[in-house]
Amino acid sequence: MPKTSIIPEGTTKPIAPFVPGTKADGIVYVSGTLPFDAENNVVHVGDAAAQTRHVLETIKRVIETAGGTMADVTMNHIFIKDWADYAAVNTVYAEYFPGEKPARFCIQCGLVKPEALVEIATIAHVG
């Protein structure tokens, strides 16, 4: 099965051996996305809502680069550092998925950088 790496213009080098997204058979798999700036520093430290928005905008860029939209998202895997941020994450998340919602799960766990409060990995089915 052929696959294509999805790397939006301006994407910085990941901190581990992976690409932002992979497309195979019309399915886009977006890697776990953290709230990083161009130098892989955590942005909006201490603000789960702003970090969530940053993460979802990054995911949106990957999906759009692959030819899709956020309406094509079928599954999200959400990782949060602290359950106290759950409501803030959900408030921003709902803005990106106003209509029919994708499936998802959310777990609390440690993330790769201590200042990161949220990470999201996504699957989208693109035409």
**Residues catalogued as catalytic:** 106
- Which residue carries 């079928």 as its tokens? 74
Start-to-end CA span in the chain (Å): 17
Q: What are the strands, taking DSSP E only, across the chain?
A: 4-6, 21-24, 27-33, 73-80, 103-108, 118-125
